[in-house]
Chain A
Amino acid sequence: MTAKMVSGNEAIALGALRAGVKVVSGYPGTPSTEVITSLWNKDLPGTSVEWSTNEKVAFEVAAASAMVGSRAMCTMKMSGVNVAYDSIIGIAYSGCTGGLVIYVADDPGVNAGMCEQDSRDFAVMADMPMLEPGTLQEAYDLTQYAFELSEAIQSPVFIRSTTNVAQSHGMADVAERVLPVNEKPMLERNIAKYTKAGAVIAMNQHRELLERLEKAKELIAAKQLNRLKLSKQPGGLGIVSVGVVNGYVEEALSIADELRIPLPEISSLQLINTIPFAVDEMKQLLKHCSTVLVAEELEPLLENRLYMEAYKLGVKVEFVGKNDATFSRIGEYDAKLVLKGICKALHLTCPEEVLPPVIQPEQHCAARPITTCAGCPHRGTYMAINKALRNLKFKSNEIIVTGDIGCTILGINPPFNTLWTEVSMGASIPMAQGFIYGGVQKPVLATIGDSTFFHAGIPGLINAIQHNVNLTVVVMDNGWTAMTGMQVNPGTIPDYQQASCRQLDLEKVIAGLGVDHLITVDPYDLKATTAAIEKSIALPGVKVVLARRECAIQAARRKVAYEPIEVNIEKCTRCKSCIVITGCPAISLGEHAITIDRAQCNGCGLCMAVCPTAAIVKEGK
């Protein structure tokens, strides 16, 4: 073992390597992405690592590898579980042979956008164990244990982290990778296990599933992974916590010490997982304590279970947690919040230092809506959509433009203010159809990025084509899964695909579906892109405008040459058109003229296209 500086996600990756993982698949999504990026382009003979088309595909790839005996893991953010769940629950009922681990990262406090969902509820529904590391060391250790547990119960196992664990960096003791066991794949044609053919099979699987979860509970208890500490005197306070909150509880006790808050001896149950419920340990604590404080982020899963166990035991315990509104189901925790709960549970007056200050200086903070990077091709597309709608004499509040997930969603923000909706991967096209079915008479547009289109956009477009909807879809192809930090997708150029992988041509894919009209444009060409959108809106049927240009960040990284832009100070009238229309972060308003930050500018030329005095020009021209 050597101490290494790792992030939570890296610890998960290293834990899987230590466990001899043979297949790692996933789809990028903050805060889970770095598990696979930390393995990307590493020399790992015997192990396949891939970014799959979507989370469901990633899970199915991993699941079947585990069916034939390999250890396999797939990774995703919480929203990805929603996508993969149809297969996850199916495989949970079937079980597996090799260790099968699903890593999901939740985001209490919403650092990265999307729903603040508690994925533990998915473990409840599929009766699957879900381990919840609260430290980097636990992330490493529990990942290895997840594979062991999965093989011991012959069922997939979740690992769930939260943003603050996944993204934290610190020390962990890690060991060398263990090579995957390269035995002959175990072929087993077992209809009763691997299909859902008939009620008998399906209900048998349900029974076995419940038995497997029960077995997991016993194994975790036998390994004493959950830490139960009872006070010498019965009665008094017990604290139940799980995952990252375990650390906040300990910290809360040390703050209490510093503030000289007189605390009696406290019992505690620190859990490494919610599901399967550690019922035996819960019962011991409930029999011992008169008050129980439950500290868990998001939904009150442990708390509700503890109420039930107390009822079954017939013990009278006072609960402090979410049901009495001490804690919120929204946002992430910290030590002072937990300490506030401890004070309440002990009927102590909470010292002023523990309560949040009444000052709210951040209300005076300048709003900083994020926009597309300098040189982003999406800027050209949104400028063109807005211009096309103006040219066609539409008002901005009468044309619905649906948005989708990824960098393209920046079209909701100023200066574009183009998009109306953001729901889930691929939702833009079916929603546009729904608006039309709902009676919207004016044209409806859908926008979607390349990776999102491959992920879940294609079925929606097929649906629109089949049902002959009059719809304009703008597919913004920058060649990368960019928002999550530049991962490859099926459309990424071959140079960046893994060896033996190839690129799919998005234009051929769309044409192959049979859309009525397809126009491919370069979004740096504002005139042509505007004209293509205008033309598409006027045409009948399903029209796709494919706006293609590589992500500026990636183009710059691989040193794609461009012509720098400069400002003719004599001609610039400081009319601000370039700033108002493009919102490009490279442009700022100088005293005598606008200035362009050469470090950011990549010469896209969109500001030139909107300058009314031709003051912005390509350098030397």
Chain B
Amino acid sequence: MSCDIYIVGVGGQGVLTIAEIISSVAFKKGIPCNFYPTKGMAQRGGFVKAQLRLGRKTVGPNIPQQEADLVVSMELSESLKAIRYVKPGADFLLYGSKWEPTAVMLGKASYPALAQVGKEVKAAGGKLHYLSPELLPEFQGKQVRDNLFVLGAIFGSTGVAMGFTAEEVLEDITHRWPKAAEQNLFALRAGMNAAAKEAVDDILV
């Protein structure tokens, strides 16, 4: 079994946290895993990506184009940078949050529409799963972390076989942040349940 996962987003969203949790669970299960983060100047709101290569003994860090078994994007516009990596027929989980650059905010630059991104994913042969940021729930009056919500959605919506279950991820998260366990588990479960509720074809209209 091998599974290549390509995750993109913007610095501050938790792209690397998702990848770190997956690689940590893989490590505990004895599944070979190479996690290659590219953060550049991510702290400052730049492009971030993580490449995870699970289940192969000898592997280069870079996932070749059209070889990812799963693509996860946490930011609408940045999704476009990941499309060329999705294997035709593989899952593409799109969390549609928007981090608009200043020029877009000022109306001086354009920002891609959801329908446009959706079309591109489909044109590349990706199986699109759309997760709306509006589904992000609150826990005790505060919005939960969207990275765990998206991580939950990976298990809830996509058929990707990583070699472990959502329960094992829950366990890792509980140990990782014992104090915030309750709200984190809530966020992860919410993601699992929220996924796949959206009718994908609606966003392409």
Give the Cβ gap from B21 to chain A, nearest Cβ, in Å.
12
Closest chain-A Cβ to B5's Cβ sits at a distance in Å of 14
Q: Is A438 located at the chain interface by the 8 A CB criterion?
A: no
Residue of A5, A364, A589 near B24 (CB, 8 A) is A5
Kindly provide the distance from the CB of B153 to the nearest chain A CB, expressed in whole angstroms. 22
Interfacial chain B residues near A165, Cβ < 8 Å: 61
**In which size bucket is the chain A interface?**
35 or more
A250 to B123, CA, bound (A): 30
Q: Does A483 contact B (CB under 8 A)?
A: yes
Q: Are B106 and A373 in contact (CB under 8 A)?
A: no
A365 contacts B112, C-beta separation under 8 Å: yes
Contacts of B20 in A (CB 8 A): 169
Is A368 in the interface zone, CB < 8 Å from B?
Answer: yes
Measured CA separation A248–B58 after assembly (Å): 9
Instruction: Give CA–CA (A332, B36) in the complex, Å.
Output: 14
Known contacts A170-B35, A171-B27: does B124 contact A357 (CB below 8 Å)? Answer: yes
Within 8 A of A (CB), among B144-182: none
B38 at the interface (CB under 8 A from A): yes
Known: A365-B80, A366-B112, A370-B44. A171 touches B65 (CB 8 A): no
B41–A483 touching, CB < 8 Å? yes
Q: A368-B46, A368-B101 are in contact. Are A169 and B112 (CB under 8 A)?
A: no
Contacts of A167 in B (CB 8 A): 36-38
Q: Is the CB of A247 closer than 8 A to any CB of chain B?
A: yes
> How far, in angstroms, from A360 to B82 measured CA to CA in the complex?
10
Per the bound structure, the CA–CA distance linking A248 and B60 in Å amounts to 5
CA–CA, A68 and B119, complex, Å? 66
Q: Are B81 and A168 in contact (CB under 8 A)?
A: no
The listed residue (A169, A553, A579) touching B102 by CB distance below 8 A is A579
CA distance A368 to B65 in the complex (A): 23
Instruction: Report yes or no: A334 in contact with B63, Cβ–Cβ below 8 A.
Output: yes
The contact string, 1 if C-beta is below 8 Å from chain B, for chain A 456-480, is 0000000000000000000000000
From 109 to 144 in chain B, residues with beta carbon under 8 angstroms from any chain A beta carbon are 109-112, 116-117, 120, 123-124
* B-side contacts of A245, CB under 8 Å: 60
Convert A328-346 into 0s and 1s, putting 1 for each residue whose CB lies closer than 8 angstroms to a CB of B: 0000111111000000000
Q: Is the CB of A171 within 8 A of B33?
A: yes
- C-alpha spacing A271/B67, complex, angstroms: 26
> What is the minimal beta-carbon distance from A205 to any residue of chain B, in angstroms?
39
Closest to A245 in B: B60
Q: Say whether B187 faces chain A, with CB atoms less than 8 Å apart.
A: no
Q: List A2-37 residues whose CB lies under 8 Å from chain B.
A: 3, 5
Given contact pairs A335-B64, A371-B45, A361 touches B124 in the complex (Cβ within 8 A)? yes
* Cβ A585 vs Cβ B45 within 8 A: yes
Contact for A169 among B32, B35, B80, CB less than 8 A: B35
Q: A481 vs B120: C-alpha distance in the bound complex, in angstroms? A: 41
For A553, what are the chain B residues with a Cβ–Cβ distance below 8 Å? 43
B35 and A357 form a contact (CB under 8 A): no
CA distance A136 to B33 in the complex (A): 11
Distance in angstroms from B109 CB to nearest chain A CB is 6
Residues of B within 8 A of A410 (CB): 44
Interface residue A119 (Cβ < 8 Å from any Cβ of B): no
Q: Does any Cβ of B come within 8 Å of A369's Cβ? A: yes
Residues of A within 8 A of B64 (CB): 251, 255, 334-337
User: Are the CB atoms of B104 and A366 closer together than 8 Å?
Assistant: yes
A169-B36 contact given A247-B60, A366-B110, A366-B111, CB 8 Å threshold:
yes
What is the bound-complex CA distance between A365 and B104, given in angstroms?
Answer: 11
A332 to B117, CA, bound (A): 27
Ordered by A's residue number, 17 sampled pairs between the chains whose C-beta atoms are within 8 Å are: A167-B37, A169-B23, A169-B34, A247-B59, A247-B60, A336-B67, A361-B117, A361-B124, A362-B81, A363-B80, A365-B78, A365-B81, A366-B77, A366-B100, A368-B47, A370-B40, A579-B105
* Residues of A bordering B, CB below 8 Å: 3, 5, 111-112, 135-136, 163-165, 167-171, 244-245, 247-248, 250-251, 255, 332-337, 353, 356-357, 359-373, 410, 414-415, 483, 553, 576, 579-580, 583, 585, 588-589
Residues on B close to A: CB < 8 A? 10, 20, 23-24, 27, 32-38, 40-41, 43-47, 56, 58-67, 77-78, 80-81, 83-84, 100-106, 109-112, 116-117, 120, 123-124
**Which 5 A-B residue pairings sit nearest by Cβ, starting from the closest?**
A336-B64, A164-B61, A247-B60, A248-B60, A361-B120
19 other contacts beyond A359-B83, A365-B77, A368-B45, with CB at 8 A cut-off? A5-B23, A111-B40, A167-B36, A167-B38, A169-B35, A170-B33, A245-B60, A251-B56, A255-B67, A334-B60, A335-B67, A336-B67, A361-B124, A363-B80, A366-B100, A366-B110, A414-B103, A553-B43, A579-B106
